Chain A
Amino acid sequence: MRPSREALRGPALPDPSPTRVEALVDLARSGDGEAFGALYDHYVAAIHRYLYYRVSDQVVAEDLTSETFFRALRSIESFQWQGKDFGAWLTTIARNLVTDHFKSSRSRREVVSDALPERAHPGPGPEAGALAALTSQRLVTALRQLGPEQQDCLVMRFLQGLSIAETARAMGRTEGAVKQLQLRAIRGLAKRLPEDLR
């Protein structure tokens, strides 16, 4: 029996000049576990950073990071967005987990911490100066006082590094709405900082 041309061709090839991430997403979508592993490598730090700054707890951040990627794995074969929006999709999953976390009884009993994250490499570094540390501490405190959507916007834009378009995707809003939210959030942050730091 002559093998069909399709059978011999191998995996379907995507559109012209996809980026590496888009290529990985296509591979993962069609069942390639190694490709999913490579996507994990690419996105895990940013997702963890978003989660940490939203829930302020290392243990919870790790739990939610893990849950984010397992959920992504389970639903990747039905991922319909373009490959380039994969990061925004992961963030959507993470964001929903944050919402659920704050709704749960567990989080209501927790005191939301204003503590800065533990440094990955303890010891003197660029932020070691006392003034810088103080600024960071106050910044985090002020951030915590903002509403969830404003926190989301600032953390996604400036700690996770998402673009306006990606943030809009992740939050289910228009780009104009995200720009407006960004403005309000920064103004809100400034208002909550001591006079000398604004």
Chain B
Amino acid sequence: MRPLMPTRRDELADAIDGRGLARHADVRAWVELTEAVRALPEPALRASFLSELRSDLVVASRSELSEREPEHRAHPVAAPAPRWRRLAVAAASALVVAGGGVGVVATSAAALPGELLYPVKRAAERVDLAMHSGDSAAGHILLEHAETRLAEAQELVAANSDSLVAGTLADFSADATHGADSLFTAFADSGQPADIETLRAFAASAAASLDSLAPVLPASSYEAYWAAAAAVGALDSAAVRACPSCAGGTPAITLGTFAEDLGPEVIGSGRVPDTSRPGRRTPSTPGAIAPAPPAEASEPEVPSAPLPSTSPDPSGDNGGGDDGGGATAPPDDEQRTIVPEPSSPMPSDPLPSVPLPSVPLPYLPLSEGPVPEVAVP
């Protein structure tokens, strides 16, 4: 005879988990009892307990956890926030506990650097990235993040939050570079033009955004701006080289476009290339505009290949002719080295005024033709 108990064990387990109704009356009674246990009241969770524990854990995580990639943190790790601020963030987190958190993440989507929910926004981006595997998907997500950084930079400029612009542009450079690298890997594996086309569309759109930002940038962000422009130029040239037949073979974006916007005063010795285009608008802050590098140069690897020192550099390994006439695509691998690490936040005003090194600029007009529309998922 089969023992009775195992049968009831499985009958009970199945009924509880919804895999069939209990046959025996006693099992049905037991299932009802489990429902009664489930219905016992929730213990009260004090909001202050929850919030203080959360903030204590986050503070402790800074010393307990070894962050592998600190160079991604363009915004500095702040000292523990004042109590009201901790409670406010933790109250948002308590919403997560109570209701699932979607609301907090959604609310954070519009946050800007410096705002309370900005870390939540960036954390949500990291989760998003971690949930997309494969180089192509990751590359697309990273380019989306880069575009978000640019939009944030534009909003920061509009809101006069000058000190935060540089870090945001640095984060843009990092996301754009990482995204490009993933897409190059995907393209190398698959040979499908779509990834390169996405990259070129991104580059064109980012170039246009940077273009529109240039006249209104605060001085403290000029260096990060140059780095961002260089990064976009570099990834676009690399895309053209990787797949010359993709996207109709549009010529690569170069720095000439951006430099013009900052005006000859900024370029120092005035080695502005000839242009066949009408002059662009001058910067809104005339006078001795000099993009000032940070007083404490914590990041020695300032992008230097397209911005050589004032001493004449005849070797031309930055790819530029003196007159900007004969140069074609910017040089290859050297240019990739100039993609900088995101710099630490710029010191606040006033900044020492340092003349910008002269910039021989290879110049190619951006193609007037339409940029191929590639939807970035």
Q: Which residues of A contact B (CB under 8 A)?
A: 1-3, 5, 8-11, 13-20, 23-24, 26-28, 30-38, 40-42, 44-45, 48-49, 52-53, 58, 61-62, 65-66, 69-70, 73-74, 76-77, 116-120, 127, 135-136, 139-140, 143, 154, 157-159, 164, 179-180, 182-183, 186-187, 189-190, 193, 198
Contacts and interface: CB of A to CB of B under 8 A. Distances in A.
A37 B57 contact: yes
A26 B131 CA distance: 10
Contacts of B64: 73-74
Given A27-B127, A41-B97, A164-B13, A120 B337 contact: no
B20 interface: no
B29 A198 contact: yes
Contacts of B181: 5, 8-9
Per DSSP, chain B at the interface is: helix
A186 B43 contact: no
A135 B12 contact: no
Interface residues of B, number: 67
Interface string B174-194: 000110011001000000000
Given A73-B60, A120-B42, A158-B37, 12 more contacts: A9-B181, A10-B129, A16-B133, A32-B126, A40-B93, A44-B53, A53-B40, A76-B65, A119-B44, A143-B37, A159-B37, A198-B33
A38 B92 CA distance: 11
A26 B133 CA distance: 13
Given A9-B181, A183-B5, A31 B97 contact: no
A24 B337 CA distance: 32
A179 B93 contact: no
Per DSSP, chain A at the interface is: helix
A136 to B, nearest CB: 6
Interface string B323-360: 00000000001001101000000000000000000000
